[in-house]
């Protein structure tokens, strides 16, 4: 069995290879990295951002300054540096909490959709404590 995430990698590699399927190994690591830096629907964040506390910056993204491209020229002391890092770390905890909330919301939505789709097969009943239920 192939895990769902692996199917996505394989499909993207085949699209990149085109008719040259023997070139899959040239695209493998790029496809894995692209997956790690891509935002997930369930959390609203990429695995990279949840790990490192900031979105991945591609070289082609550096021409657009963002909050994450810090102005290092204004840091003159260790205290300035620590203040900058503390802001980043505080943001990381907020992002992780936000991702957890998104994940719970997505799981509930999926459970509700499953229950709606399979309502005729789902049966409720009264069960005694210790009773085995399959």
The gap between the terminal CA atoms of the chain, to the nearest Å, is 24
Q: How many other C-beta atoms can be found within 10 angstroms of the C-beta atom of residue 14? A: 13
The residue extents of the domains of the chain are 4-100
Would you state the pLDDT for residue 131?
A: 83
Q: When comparing pLDDT for 106 and 133, which is higher?
A: 106
pTM for the predicted model, two decimal places: 0.52
Instruction: Report the C-alpha gap between 18 and 45 in whole angstroms.
Output: 30
For the stretch 87-103, pLDDT in tens is: 666 677 788 888 899 99
Would you state the pLDDT for residue 95?
A: 82
Cβ atoms of 17 and 25 within 8 Å: the answer is no
Integer angstrom CA distances of residue 116 from 30, 39, 42, 119, 120: 39, 28, 20, 5, 9
Instruction: Report the C-alpha gap between 49 and 69 in whole angstroms.
Output: 14
pLDDT band at 69 (very low <50, low <70, confident <90, very high): low
Integer angstrom CA distances of residue 25 from 4, 15, 73, 74, 123: 20, 13, 41, 44, 48
Mean of the pLDDT values across residues 107-129? 85
Taking alpha carbons only, the member of 82, 81, 84, 80 closest to residue 68 is: 84
């Amino acid at each position: 069995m192939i895990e769902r995430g692996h199917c996505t990698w394989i499909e993207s590699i085949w699209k990149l290879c085109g008719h040259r399927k023997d070139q899959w190994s040239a695209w493998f690591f790029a496809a894995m990295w692209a997956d790690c830096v891509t935002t997930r629907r369930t959390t609203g964040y990429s695995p990279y951002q949840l790990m490192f506390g900031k979105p991945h910056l591609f070289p082609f993204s550096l021409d657009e300054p963002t909050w994450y491209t810090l102005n290092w020229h204004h840091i003159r002391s260790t205290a300035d540096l620590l203040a900058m890092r503390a802001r980043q770390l505080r943001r990381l905890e907020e992002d992780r909490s936000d991702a957890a909330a998104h994940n719970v919301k997505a799981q509930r939505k999926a459970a509700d959709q499953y229950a709606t789709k399979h309502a005729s097969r789902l049966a409720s009943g009264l069960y005694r404590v210790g009773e085995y239920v399959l």
